[in-house]
Amino acid sequence: MLKKQRAELIFKHLNKLYKTTPIPLDHKDPFTLLVAVLLSAQCTDIRVNQVTPALFQLADNCNDMARQNVDEIYTIIRPCGLAPRKSKAIVSLSQILVEQHSSKVPEDMALLEQLPGVGHKTASVVMSQSFGHPASPVDTHIHRLAQRWGLTNGKNVVQTEKDLKLLYAPEHWNKLHLQIIFYGREYCSARGCDGTVCEICRGCYPKRKKPVITKK
């Protein structure tokens, strides 16, 4: 099966399973999504959704967040991991939004990536889910799935993102990103599938017998 054929098989299967793709992180606007995505680094969305109510009760906009004490934020977000770094980043980026961006999250990838604690993946999520711009954020799980499914030979998330963008039209990127996340959690997790178990893996490679070793 050619790579384009595998891509089409995957696309059809995901669209059949996930007709709607609700955003898994609870938020109300671009700022709260930005903070939630920042918190989700090396942390589950479930855990993030458990801590953000208290955090956003303390401050749910950049003007209020910029005035908060880093230690108080740290106490709230500690269960998310990397809390010292994340708490400082949340206060710092809030101050920058107030001082340099008229208290608004910029609708610009380059400007988002300049904010403390905001990498390419976080910026891509905000651009796609808050502003509707085509983006294809790739984390380690999507990277691993794309390798299992034969959509990329990339050794890192940067190359995998490029390969996925070449395979799928921009109008599908935002929804497909979430569909892959949902499918990975439900059917093709690190423990649940090694490239030989789930329906997509078996559909793409019906003769595969050995587990897939991910290139990081």
Question: What per-residue confidence (pLDDT) applies to 201?
Answer: 97
| Contact predicate 142/177, CB 8 Å | yes
- Tell me whether residue 13 is in a domain: yes
Question: What per-residue confidence (pLDDT) applies to 216?
Answer: 64
| CATH at 159 | 1.10.1670.10
* One domain for residues 57 and 113: yes
Model pTM score? 0.91
Q: Which structural domain range is residue 110 located in?
A: 30-129
Name the band, by pLDDT with cuts 50, 70 and 90, for residue 213. Answer: confident
Quick check: is 163 catalytic? no
Give, in order, the Cα–Cα distances in Å from 6 to each of 9, 139, 196: 5, 21, 15
- Tell me whether residue 104 is in a domain: yes
Q: Which is the catalytic residue, given 64, 88, 139, 216? A: 139
Q: Which is the catalytic residue, given 71, 121, 155, 162? A: 121
The pLDDT of residue 214 is above 80: no
Quick check: is 139 catalytic? yes
* One domain for residues 124 and 155: no
Amino acid letter, residue 189: S
| CATH at 107 | 1.10.340.30
Report which DSSP code applies to 153.
-
Report which DSSP code applies to 212.
P
Rounded average pLDDT over 63-75: 97
